[in-house]
Structure 1
Amino acid sequence: MFKTETLIAFALVAKHRSFTLAANAQGQTPMAMSKQVSQLEKRLAEPLFERSTRKIRLTQFGAEFLIRVHKILEQHDAIEHWLESRQGEFSGTLSLVTQSTQTFDETVFPWLAEFHQCYPNIELIFEVQENIIDINNNPYDIYWGIEEYLGMQHPALKRRSLWKAQLGIFASPDYLAKFGTPKTPDELKDHQMISHPHSDPSNALIVNKVANSQQREMDFVILDAPMKTVAGQSKFAVQGLGLINALVDNDDIKDYLATHQLVPVLQKYWYSSAEIYIYYHQVKLEQPKVRAFIDFFLSKRKYW
């Protein structure tokens, strides 16, 4: 059997890419952390890391082993939290990730004080990752506000619908003065857009082909996209650099519309079925901290 402490040491070194940072996180010395990893490599008869004077990185075997280690540690945590739940305790560290800070701003942060009052022993860690999320190498407890692509990539995840939103199209008055205001999607062929580099395809503007449609499946047109960015699309649009897709309820969009720095385009053809989900791992023993968080914030949906 592998010792849990040794597996945790390996996972921390893999996460931080540093024995020193991993040791600090675990309250140990770098030498002790290195010794545990070396003993594990000896047991496995294969190196887990490629070491140099400047950095370390996982070997291919190490990366494959890490996936299995995360699953073992998740089961270990689940047993501990199950035992805690039998005593009516909700504690531990809960890590969440989303692709946009706005998701947290609108759906979590306003009620954090109330949640903390209910569950004072749950420590929350919020992270934002704007590129594609790989759940094997980024093992969070909850993936919050991630759209449907994550469920298609990882069908073993459980999910709950958070809310549905309208995905609009916006541009600056200067841009429309230069390129013209399209009246139908067919008139978009000479236009350009500001896109997200991780979209697939990365130069697709989401727009229904039929006016006032409530369709569930997205339509899109392919446009030139001279500017691709993971953040700040609305700011670039204000500068007249192209059309953008954005959620209608986005606070930045509301502000730019109010000040006439952006205007809506092709409103009859906007996609109205953009659905946001909460994803979490499907396990036999669900961690009480996860269930407490999900139940609490799903009860707040009516305020979003």
Structure 2
Amino acid sequence: MRLAFVRAAIALLVILSSWLPAAADPTQTGRLPAGVTVPAPLPLGISVIGGTPSDDRKIVGIAFAQDNETRVCSGLYVSARRILTAAHCTCGATNYRVTNEDFDKGKFRSGTFVSRFGNYNCDKHYIPRGDDLALLEITQPLWSTDIATTCPQYSLLPAIEFAAHWFPTPPENISVAGYGFSGSAAQDLGSRQEAVVSLDSVLCATRQARGLSCLPFAEFIAGATPIRGTARDTCGGDSGGPAFFRARGNFIPFGVISRALPVNHRFPDKACGSGGVYTHLGRSDVIAWLKDRGVPDGEPNCGAAAVTE
């Protein structure tokens, strides 16, 4: 019953994409308002559509220079010195500044590029093929509390490996998070937000899902179905942020935000509001890449062992 509904919903999106006006660039990263630089104070608002403020410090915001502008992406704090984000956020980018506080607090760590996953191509016409992942290295660990930094043995690698256990029947909904736009005002970015969205096609194995440029068994679709009539989705600037479950209080990373679905969106100027494509994390090739690029096995919950700034 549920599978039939999911297929019907995705089929409807395919039909809409054939006659609605073209959507905004699905891989565009968040832009800061003209004349505003990080960490200058920003007007803050709800950043994930239908979301609420999040206190989970595994979710990070990234400001960087790209195309002569200051832009914003989001990311996942995967180990004490490593940040996982979307590969397209690193193309031609410099001067990374990373935080797991709201931007207006001005608490940032400097970051440097480490690696892009697989054969990701930074050509602007390239559509990701399950490879929209990149790693950054930060100069010092981020904060575990307002006054303490994260312990050196912190790592989400065990939780990422556990994500594979959710196949083939994960829950109907998934949490997503980021620091991006709200879909209402360009200034609404820079605060950590999360929302529960629909998990529409977990494997992208159907013809309809493949027609939406979702690579089977490497990517998934989420946020395409309103929950109780309300659109809940990621938006510009949320690229690289995590999709995750919480199980018995544990944070289980399931994917990374890659791009908007190639259909017309409820907020066309922000390319959001109608769902997106996410990169799966629990794959053996992704886990091998993380290990090879310096993400160690460690302790996912070591806040009690944190050291004071």
Q: TM-score range by the shorter chain?
A: under 0.3
Please say which structure displays the higher CA radius of gyration.
Answer: 1
Flag the structure with higher helix content: 1
Query: What TM-score, normalized to structure 2?
Result: 0.23
Flag the structure with higher strand content: 2
